[in-house]
Every structure is written in C-alpha cells, then in structure tokens.
Structure 1
Amino acid sequence: MTDLLTSALDRFGAEIVHVGQFDYGSVFRERRLRREPFLHWAGDPRFANVLAYWDSGDTLFGGTSFFTETVEIDPASMRRNPSEPNAVTVIAELSGEARALMPRQVLRAQLDRAEAMGFKVDAGFEFELIVLDEDASTSRDKGFEGLEKFAPDNKCWSGATANTHAAFIAGMEAEILGHDVSLYALSVELGPGCLEATQAATEGLRAADDAAFLRMAARSYARKQGKTASFMPYLGKEYPGIGGHCTMSLRDKSTGANLFSDPSGQTNDLARKFIAGMMQVVPEAFAMCTSSVNAYRRLAPGSWAPKSLTWAEYPFTVAVRSVPHADPRARLEFRVPPADCNPYLTMALMLGAGLDGIERDLPAPPPAEAAHPDFVPEGAQRFPRDLAEAAGRLAASDHAKRIFGTAFTENFAAACRAEYASLATAVSAEERARYLEG
C-alpha cells in the first residue's frame, strides 16, 4: 500500500495530504498531514469510529464503544486540493466493525452487485444551491434570521444575473474544478442567489465522490469570498426548494454499451424493470436520500418536488424521469432527493432498488399522466411526510435490510430518529407569530 500511495503522491507532486471520509451528514472528516507523516501513518492507518454514530450536530446517537478503528486508504480516490500549494485529498474508509455502516461502503456493495450482474454504472448529480451575502460570523450574530440575499433580483436562468456576477460564478467553478470534480455546468437558477451545479456522468464511486467534493468546494469558495453557499433544501418562503437530482445509466461490462439505449428511442424493458424496483423500494427506504428535518419542508404542497413515486418520459414533475434515447445519452433521473442528500446513500438507494427490480423481473406501472407534482396517481406510494415517519419506514423495511444490510439499516434509522428528535421541540418565529396571542 505504501508503494501505491507513494506513486500516487509523486504523480500529483503532493507534499500535503488531506485524508478523511464523508459521514452521514456528508461532512468530510479529515486529518491534514505532510507527506512523510502521512506515509508513516499509512503503515497502520486509523480514525475515530464515532463517524458511524454522529449526527449532523456532532452528537452521538448510537454505538457501544468508541475507539480509533482501522481504515482502508483508497489510492484511486486521490485528487488535487487547490486550497493550498502541492496538496491532495484522499479518502480513507473505516474498515473494522463500522465498515458496513458507512455511506461509501454501502454504495460500493451495490456497485459490486451491479458488476456481478454484468453492469457498469454511470451517474451524476445536479445540485441547486443558495448563495447568501453572509459569512459565518454575521449569520450567527443575526441568530440565522433576516439573512442578506446575494443577487436578490435574480430570475430563473437570468442572463443579467449570470453576467453581473460572472466573476463570482467563474471563481466558484474554478474552485470546484480544482478539486478534480467532473463539473459539466455552473449556472444561475430560480430564486435569489440560486445557482445550479451539474456534474458530467462519471463511473461508479467516483460519481458520488465528485458530488460530495463539489459541495465542499462550493461552500469553501463562498466562505473565502465572505459569503455562504447553502444546500439547505428549504430556506423559507422567499426562496425555492432546492434539489440534488441523481442521474444514472447502466452499461454492459464487456462492451461498454449503454443498456438503457433503445433503437426505438423509448424506455426499454431493462430501464422499466429498474424503475419498477425503485417504485417498490424507494418509498420504504426514502430516508436514505432525504435524511434531514428541513428536507421534508421542500415536499410541502405547491412545491415542484413530487409527493409520490411516479415515472414518465421527459416531464420534470415526476419522481423518476426517463430520458430515453437511441444513442448513449439514455438515462434515468431521480428527481426527489434534496440538495443536502448524502450522495453515496442516494446513489446506493437508486441503484440498489433498480437492480432489485431487474433481478426480480418486476413490471413497471404505466407512466404517470399528471402535469403537476402534487398529483398522486391511484396506486402510487406517497413519500413520508417527515423524517420520523421515514425513519420508521426504513427500520421496518425487509427490502432495505435485504438489499443494504440489517446493520446499516438499523443504524441509519437510529441516526434519522436522533436527527428528528434534535428539532422536535424547536419553535420558529413564524409559529410564535401565529399562535402566541391566539
């Protein structure tokens, strides 16, 4: 392993190594080491196993013993880190007791399953984000209320906004690309300060890695500019709900051909079986892609987010949007996940459910005909209304335990319950205004 890591460091000319992994909240938990100390540490690498039992507030929700667990460094994950000269980032995953609990390993298991079935997996994420004209101190000084907007005059896809703030957008793009993320586009979107970052399709684990590093890079760049890049799904009624859509296709492992492509230009039988698996599993394991309390506010009536598991060719108002094609551009788009979704678990959910549909030869229901996202067709499964309901569904799901493992399913359900409980007694200014004098 040391030789592999030395070769990788040499290719990048690296003298500084940021080594770590993304947790349930998609936070990169790392150590920063100079080259020689890193190679010494790599002889017996370990990291605190609390990462498997931490909620988004760094509070323990589970586990029985806490120690420095062995980790496995993935040399293939090494990428540039533009935050300082001659620096790289590399992922090292817990490899002992907690191995099966961690997001990247949950995804790896589904990718291995796909390969055993003769498939390679291409995927990419599209994230919306809100930029605020606040830094870490000013937002706290204001108690996170009355926050200043960035580009408050923005309209969806506004050329005026894109040109006015071109330097900021170009700078963020450069920061993201500097982390070797496969960025396809960075554009303005709907609402004040809203941008949309789209990844190019990438194979396997790298797709989820890129998604996680994309968000880290956007946040870091905004901070350096005295601003905040937020992926919080719903900031309030003055802002749009923002999503983190996952696009996926399967390729033949031998030939590389896109197996969702069809000469007819329509959704083929394999893609329909994939969709059928999602229809059955996703409503039960929904917490895997929507695991924050706030994300469920994005699913309120009137929003663009679908409220049930539906599919159709092309419309933006269904949960699974099929984009059929005769050439390799054929793909499926999972449009429900919020912008703060865990990319590893979201991709694992979509892939694991889809493969299950293929293995079990499930028939897809007819495509939805409704033109608006609030419509729930007869027979369609509604999504959970809050994180508590989602955690309960996940914990009770035999499909989730069978596909993703009982240990992970139970541990992640516990994490979601703890996340919900952390805000169960929180009261907003809007609630006080409505009920204080009633």
Structure 2
Amino acid sequence: MADQLGRQGTLAEALEAIGADIVHVGVFDYASMFRERRLHREDLLTGADTAVFANVPLKWDQGETILFPGPYRSETVSYDAASLRAYPFEKNAAALVADYTGPQAAITPRRVLGEQVAKARSLGFDVHAAYEFEFIVLNETAETLRAKGFANLDPYAPDNRCWSGQTAAAQASFVSDLEDLLTRGGIDLYSLSVELGPGCFEATLRHRDAMRAADDAAFFRLFTKAFCRQRGLTASFMALTGAGFPGIGGHIALSLRERKSGRNVFGDRSDAQGLSPLARSFLAGIIDGVPEVFPMIGNTVNAYRRLAPGSWAPKTVSWAPYNYAAAVRIAAETEEMTRLELRLPGSDLNPHLALAAMLGAGLDGLERKLALAAAPIASGGPNEIPEGVERLPIDLLAATKKFCASAKARALHGDAFVDHYAAICEAEDAALRKAVSAAEVQRYLEGG
C-alpha cells in the first residue's frame, strides 16, 4: 500500500497541484461503496493528523442493516495521499481515500489488499493489475425503478447487438461523454465499447499498480453510475440484472514485475503457453487457493446467479491460453505483455478484495513452488466441468461456510478479517433467503 500521509505538506502540495478547494474524502465499505464527507481544503488539512470517520460502514450489510454490536463511534483514519484524484462532478474538487487505523484496520478491504501487495514487494515484485467491466445501462430513473417495483426493466439502446458498429455510431456521444468524465476523474481507459446485447457496454481500464488499479475500478463504477443517473438512466453492475439480460463479468488481469528492473516475470517465450516457471506456480496457487476464498470474489447472492447451470461463466478454476471460457485466461502476446486474467468475478465484485484473493492465492503458490498439475481446458461451454476438478460453490452460503472453515484463508488474510467478513456474507445470504421471485410464484402457485 502507498505510504500513508505523515505530514500535512504532502497532501497540501498534491491538492494544490490539481487545484482542489473541495475534497470528497471517505472510506470504501464491503460493497465497494464510497462513504464520504465533503470538506473544504483548509478544514481537511487542519484536521489531517487527527482525522476520524464513523466506524459503521464496516458493521453493516449491503442493505445498511447493522450486524455488529457497538460502540458506534468515530475511529481514527489516515489519508492516503497517493489515492488523490480529481473529482469530475464539481469544479476545483478532488476525491481522497481514507483508511481506518484503529480497531477496524485489519478488516478494511484496502488494507487486506495492501497486505498482499506488501508481501509481493518483500519477495521482490511490484504488482500490476487492470480491470475490465461489462455493465448494463437501463432506461430507468430512481423513480421509475421504484414505481415498477424493480421489475420489467427497460434497457437503454435496446437494439444493440454484440460489438455492433451501428450502435457504436448511434451511441457515440454517450460513450465519448462518459470517457471524458472518467478521464477527468483520473481513470485511464484502454477501451469503451458496446457489448453483449441490449443496454450492454464494456470498459477496459489500463493497467496500474495494484492499489491504484483497485481504486480506479471502484471509482469507475461510482462515476459511471452517477453519470448515468444525471442523464435519467441507471447503470447496473449486477452480475445478472434479470431475465433477458446477459451475465456480466468484472475480470482482473494481473502480472508481477521485478522491482529492480521492471521486467515482467510471468513471460517466457520458450514455454508452450508463454509462461515462466514462476508464473506457472502463481497460476497453480490460484487454482489451489481461490475455491477457499471465493466470497472475496463473489460477495453477493446475485453473483452466483451468473454461475448457474446453463450459463457460460466458468464453474471451476480452469485455465487455458486465450480461451474466454477459462476461469483464468492466459494472455502472452509478448513477454512484456504476459498476464493472467481472472474471469470468475461478476461486475459486482469488490475490487480490493477480489484482487487480494487472486494475489494472495498466487503468491502462496509461488512461495510453495507449486507445480501446475491441471491441464488447460481445450473447449469450454455451459456446464463443462473438467474431469477431476472441484466445482466452485453454488451459492454465497456454501462459499462462506468453506471460507470460514479454511485454514488457508485464515493463513492468507487473518482470523479477524475471515470471521468478520464471513458474518457479513452470511447475513447477506440470509437477507434474501425468504425473497420470493415472480418466477417462483408462476412455477408453484397453481401447481399440485
């Protein structure tokens, strides 16, 4: 993790450099929502050495139901000056991330990721990462969603087809305006395109160091949702928005770089798949460890709808070069560009925790020099389960029980985080156990 603010001057100079008089400062919760306060620069700097923030965001579920006993109070935080970015919705404004330094420090998503980044550095590596998001834009406002009971949702650009040049031309102003806003917010896009059908778009973020990449991903969703709401639309990052919509992913690409030289240590052109021995052990660690920490990748009930029977999403931690059906896709165009792409998360992932899960499992495999025993899949499709490979958990409750009982999860991420986060995920599952869908009523109401 970037060094935390030690002197007011560091932050003051950074704020001056981007011309920020207003600062939106906050913490990311487990839903990756930015919980913030809007402060004037002078007030922020005056209180920088004694900053506090309410401790409630890490004590509630996604419905803001408080799950843990008090005291509910302010806890000390420190400002991460390296997280500062322009805030594109207001002139002369910036966004700044704070991290808890008191009792909740060990369970904060950014700190969980920071521990794995620090581990990589101790082994001599920098971590580069990038995120790719599919998302659905709906022709709905906050008011129309509620009037409809969040059912029968109308997509924006209902005529869109996958990679349609016609839709790209028709929606050029929407896309270019969104890209302009994201750029002003410090998010560097590699591409922004139409994708899988009605209302579907895809954004590929350019690779950055791991913490900045995860922050970019979280702010990308925040900025995109706000951009759409300002235009009378709604952006959905649910893994499966509903009938008629495709399952959508939030993929993570990762590589390790030698700290001294900057060389990508994953690439090796002499290998049949273009992978170095180090990369193969890292990949073996992902295959071995990800099933144990899967709630860090799929942290909502809805995330598992995308993994349901009949879907194209991977059901196991499979791998293959360039194969989009693999859970880990190997891309090795050149040694410098070689990366591992985790295709298991939905677009509703927590960017910090999902990257921590991938990185922690991979580093564990690297340290243990695990052999890559699993063969690459040759095809891939709905319900394809390679022989002898463990199927991923089928729902959030099953994933959470496995996570909570896992010695590996506790060794990688600590008892405090595992116990607290498992309770969050169990509550998230319980919140929807009694929810009855229209499809269930149709299927069972008039049956025998």
Q: TM range, normalised to the smaller chain?
A: over 0.9
Distance of 1:60 and 1:23 partners within structure 2:
13
> Quick check: 1:227 aligned with 2:236?
no
Distance of 1:398 and 1:24 partners within structure 2:
22
Partner of 1:315: 323
Deviations 1:57-109 (A, max 9, x none): 11112244321000010111100001011000011111111001010000000
The share of aligned pairs that are identical, in percent, is 49
Deviations 1:208-250 (A, max 9, x none): 0111111111001000100001101101220100000000000
Report if the CA contact (8 A) 1:46-1:70 is conserved. yes
> Quick check: 1:382 aligned with 2:391?
yes
Distance of 2:241 and 2:282 partners within structure 1:
33
Q: 1:66 aligns with which of 55, 65, 72?
A: 72
Report if the CA contact (8 A) 1:62-1:414 is conserved. no
Distance of 1:184 and 1:324 partners within structure 2:
18
Which residues in structure 2 correspond to 1:1-80 (within 5 Å)?
1-80=7-86
> Quick check: 1:93 aligned with 2:102?
no
Which range moves more in the overlay, 282-291 or 52-61? 52-61
Tell me the TM-score normalised to structure 2 length: 0.96
SS in 2 for 1:426: coil
SS in 2 for 1:284: helix
Deviations 1:22-42 (A, max 9, x none): 110010000001111212232
Deviations 1:284-318 (A, max 9, x none): 11000100001100001221210011111110001
Partner of 1:288: 296
Q: How many angstroms does 1:262 deviate by? A: 1.1
SS in 1 for 2:49: coil
> Quick check: 1:350 aligned with 2:334?
no
Report if the CA contact (8 A) 1:182-1:202 is conserved. no
SS in 1 for 2:320: strand
SS in 2 for 1:213: helix
> Quick check: 1:257 aligned with 2:263?
yes
Deviations 1:125-149 (A, max 9, x none): 0000000001111111111111221
Distance of 2:207 and 2:220 partners within structure 1:
14
Partner of 1:217: 223
Partner of 2:426: 417
Distance of 1:264 and 1:132 partners within structure 2:
47
Tell me the TM-score normalised to structure 1 length: 0.98
Report if the CA contact (8 A) 1:77-1:91 is conserved. yes
Which range moves more in the overlay, 72-81 or 371-380? 371-380
Q: 2:148 aligns with which of 138, 142, 146?
A: 142
Distance of 2:410 and 2:162 partners within structure 1:
41
SS in 2 for 1:233: coil
Partner of 2:277: 269
> Quick check: 1:341 aligned with 2:349?
yes
Paired residue type of 1:430: A
Q: 1:118 aligns with which of 124, 127, 133?
A: 124
Which range moves more in the overlay, 313-322 or 264-273? 264-273
Q: Which runs of 5+ in 1 are unaligned?
A: none
Partner of 2:443: 434
Deviations 1:330-360 (A, max 9, x none): 0000001000000000100010000000001
Paired residue type of 1:423: L
Q: How many angstroms does 1:204 deviate by? A: 2.2
Partner of 2:307: 299
SS in 1 for 2:84: strand
Which range moves more in the overlay, 217-226 or 257-266? 257-266
> Quick check: 1:201 aligned with 2:207?
yes
Paired residue type of 2:157: A
Q: 2:189 aligns with which of 179, 183, 194?
A: 183
Q: 1:396 aligns with which of 399, 405, 411?
A: 405
Distance of 2:375 and 2:152 partners within structure 1:
46
Deviations 1:251-272 (A, max 9, x none): 0011000001113262221111
Q: How many angstroms does 1:381 deviate by? A: 1.7
Partner of 2:110: 104
- Count of residue pairs the alignment pairs up: 438
Distance of 1:427 and 1:390 partners within structure 2:
22
Report if the CA contact (8 A) 2:239-2:249 is conserved. yes
Distance of 2:261 and 2:376 partners within structure 1:
30
Report if the CA contact (8 A) 2:315-2:391 is conserved. yes
Aligned CA distance change for structure 1 residues 378 and 64 (closer, same or farther; 3 Å): farther
Q: 2:254 aligns with which of 248, 264, 271?
A: 248
Distance of 1:348 and 1:331 partners within structure 2:
16
SS in 1 for 2:193: strand
Paired residue type of 2:90: E
Deviations 1:174-195 (A, max 9, x none): 1211210121111000021000
Distance of 1:79 and 1:381 partners within structure 2:
42
Paired residue type of 2:421: F
